[in-house]
């Protein structure tokens, strides 16, 4: 968890919004990892929603 928070900070994201987005969308990938890259803190999807 600490690693996720620090990586979000390093990418200039709102930490609480980033964790919310990850926890919101992560269950969608439980059956397959396709597309999980959109939850990385440097992805455009996350930057758009958490900056």
As a whole number of angstroms, the distance between CA 13 and CA 5 comes to 9
As a whole number of angstroms, the distance between CA 10 and CA 27 comes to 25
Q: How far is CA 15 from CA 23, 36, 43, 45, in A?
A: 12, 19, 15, 15
pTM, whole model, 2 decimals? 0.84
Q: Which domain holds residue 30?
A: 2-50
Query: Region 36-47: what's the mean pLDDT?
Result: 92
Number of domains in the chain: 1
As a whole number of angstroms, the distance between CA 24 and CA 41 comes to 14
Q: Residues 17, 49: contact at Cβ < 8 Å? A: yes
pLDDT at residue 30, rounded to an integer: 78
pLDDT at residue 17, rounded to an integer: 97
Q: Residues 21, 39: contact at Cβ < 8 Å? A: yes
pLDDT in tens, 1-36: 899 999 999 999 999 999 999 999 988 887 777 888
């Amino acid at each position: 968890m600490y690693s996720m928070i620090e990586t979000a900070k390093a990418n200039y994201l709102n930490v609480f919004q980033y964790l919310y987005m990850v926890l919101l969308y992560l269950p969608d990938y439980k059956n397959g990892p396709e597309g999980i890259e959109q939850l990385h803190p440097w992805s455009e999807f996350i930057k758009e929603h958490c900056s």
